[in-house]
Chains A and B, each alone.
Chain A
Amino acid sequence: MMLVGADVPRGASRKEPMAPPETAASPPASPAPKMRAENLRAWFGRSLALKGISLAIADKQVTAIIGPSGCGKSTFIRCLNRMHEVIPGARVEGLVTLEGKPIYGPTVDPVRIRRRVGMVFQKPNPFPTMSIRENVLAGARLNGLRLEDPEALVERALKQAALWDEVKDKLGQNGMSLSGGQQQRLCIARALALEPEVLLMDEPCSALDPIATARVEELIHELGERLTIAIVTHNMQQAARVSDFTAFFLLGELVEYAETDALFTKPQDTRTEDYITGRFG
């Protein structure tokens, strides 16, 4: 966790956890952060994908991460539930905390972290060998947990994912029989069934049509009331619609982080302005 090398970017060199506001590493007037990254650096083999990110994810808020392709936004959220390190050759340096406790440490079991910090992926990935019901219960069943009332859990999770009404009569059907948007909501239900504290979403709508996207966005909005959500998106309108805070990443650095309205209406950094006005990316 030592700082080495000279390429530490602005915003990362500060020692104070609560950063002064010029680059706004933590949004002003935010509630207590649920998760925090400090000088987070991530590698794929020899290439440095995240060049020292310091960012606080506010509790029970939706934080959007935007930026052009390859800017490290997916890598960043994968570092928040220790999914980055499952890629061969990938490694992480720096500090990430969940409720103040570091999640990268010799005594921390990544499996426990992943149960508390759930994840939804770009492409819907229900388990093809399982029914809708089994998919929702997969987190518990695969972990060998005993459930008091599995049916109630299935119903609760599917209702939270706004899928219950569409599938309640066919819970035994294969999860792959659903449409793309339904599959993605099934994956959200699967993640919610483990009752995570944080939900990470990696471009959850990029494989969906506009109507399915609208449903998932509505869902994110609802879930954001009770859950801490970090969503990576390519789509700036989507970030503006669903999030309370927005972080703009560029080339593995955090350029700007502010309340969503502020970031989109009066960006502080010219690069942010260029990006949101469509001059590049």
Chain B
Amino acid sequence: MSAPSEPYLRRRIVDVAARGLCVLMTVLAILPLLSLLGYVLKQGLGALSWSFFTELPRPVGEVGGGMANALAGSAILVGLACAIGMPVGILAGVYLAEFGKNRFGNAVRFCADVLSGVPSIAVGVFVYTLVVLTMRRFSALAGGVALGILMLPTVTRTTEELVRLVPDTLREAALALGVPKWRAILRVVLRTALPGIATGMMLAVARAAGETAPLLFTAFNNRFWSASLDKPMASLPVQIFTYAVSPYDDWHRQAWAAALVLVAAVLVLNVAARLVVYGRTAR
């Protein structure tokens, strides 16, 4: 403890320098996000037009056209992923929180954590062999399965955390009213955790909506309208990828527009999720 003998001025300088360094690094940390948003906005806004949302892609060489099919396709794929990932994930999360204090529970938790670290392209390859090879074609269904698997660990662990946060006193209150345990979990515990779970779901959806790799060889791509689940389906991320690596300027501009739409959608979901949390804690 040499503090008393240390000159005051020196300490003040060190303090200012250290604090300045922290601020600088913080700015550096958010700089990529800001510049990314700015650049996408700048490039995308110019390319965005009404026809982008309403028209199909035009053949190479024709200027104009849009990505209406990819927008719808992304919505369908994410919807499919939710239909597959959410019931499984939410119920698994409830199991882990309410009954999972055993070896099996620990094993499931470990698997979920590993799964959330698996690169998304590996999930794509897995679904390719599982669904695409069996059905002998690329399909929206395969894409939905791949995105669903990607969502699964997030949904499971988020649900578990939030169900665990519900105080035991509420479970006891319900049980003491002669409510059977399953009803207490469903009507009191899950109901109480619902806003938080909804937030987690939005974040999972936002994540899945932006995934490209697992869709490349599952849902593949489609230049036309298609709502059938057993056919290839267009999606925004894959469309961005295809257009961005093409040699055509018009396609590049379209890719920027699509990127802007995708980023905006993800941002809206994130902000909405935050607002839900804020609304709950503010009350």
Q: State the A residues within 8 Å of B (CB).
A: 81, 83, 86, 88, 111-116, 118-119, 121, 123, 125-129, 138-139, 142-144, 174, 187, 190-191, 194
Say whether B175 contacts A139, CB under 8 Å.
no
Assuming the A-B contacts A123-B169, A125-B170, A127-B188, are A143 and B183 also in contact, with contact meaning beta carbons closer than 8 angstroms in the complex?
Answer: yes
Assuming the A-B contacts A127-B192, A142-B188, are A114 and B175 also in contact, with contact meaning beta carbons closer than 8 angstroms in the complex?
Answer: yes
Main secondary structure of the interface of A (DSSP, over half): mixed
**5 smallest beta-carbon distances between A and B, as pairs:** A115-B178, A119-B176, A114-B178, A139-B177, A125-B169
Say whether A86 contacts B177, CB under 8 Å.
no
Q: Which residue of A lies closest to B179 (CB)?
A: A142
Say whether A114 contacts B176, CB under 8 Å.
yes
Cβ-based interface call for B191 (8 A): yes
Main secondary structure of the interface of B (DSSP, over half): helix
Say whether B172 contacts A86, CB under 8 Å.
yes
Q: Which residue of A lies closest to B171 (CB)?
A: A86
B280 to chain A, nearest CB (A): 10
Q: Which residues of B contact A115 (CB under 8 A)?
A: 177-178
Assuming the A-B contacts A111-B180, A139-B178, A142-B183, are A187 and B173 also in contact, with contact meaning beta carbons closer than 8 angstroms in the complex?
Answer: yes
Say whether B172 contacts A190, CB under 8 Å.
no
Say whether B172 contacts A88, CB under 8 Å.
no
Say whether B169 contacts A121, CB under 8 Å.
yes
B168 to chain A, nearest CB (A): 9
Cβ-based interface call for B213 (8 A): no
Q: Which residues of A contact B187 (CB under 8 A)?
A: 142
Q: Which residues of B contact A116 (CB under 8 A)?
A: 178
Say whether A129 contacts B191, CB under 8 Å.
yes
Q: Which residues 126-181 of B sit at the A interface, judged by CB distance below 8 A? A: 167, 169-180
4 further A-B contacts with Cβ under 8 Å, apart from A129-B188, A143-B177, are A86-B172, A121-B169, A125-B167, A127-B192
A179 to chain B, nearest CB (A): 17
Q: Which residue of A lies closest to B170 (CB)?
A: A125
A165 to chain B, nearest CB (A): 24
Say whether B177 contacts A118, CB under 8 Å.
yes
Cβ-based interface call for B101 (8 A): yes
Say whether A138 contacts B177, CB under 8 Å.
yes
Say whether A194 contacts B177, CB under 8 Å.
yes
Cβ-based interface call for B94 (8 A): no
Q: Which residues of A contact B180 (CB under 8 A)?
A: 111
Q: Which residues of A contact B175 (CB under 8 A)?
A: 83, 86, 114
Cβ-based interface call for B184 (8 A): yes
Q: Which residue of B lies closest to A190 (CB)?
A: B177
The answer, among A118, A127, A144, A174, for a CB contact under 8 Å with B176, is A118
Which of A118, A127, A187, A191 has most B Cβ within 10 Å? Answer: A127
Which of A115, A118, A129 has most B Cβ within 10 Å? Answer: A129
The CA-CA distance from A113 to B177 in the complex, in Å, is 10
Q: Which residues of B contact A113 (CB under 8 A)?
A: 178
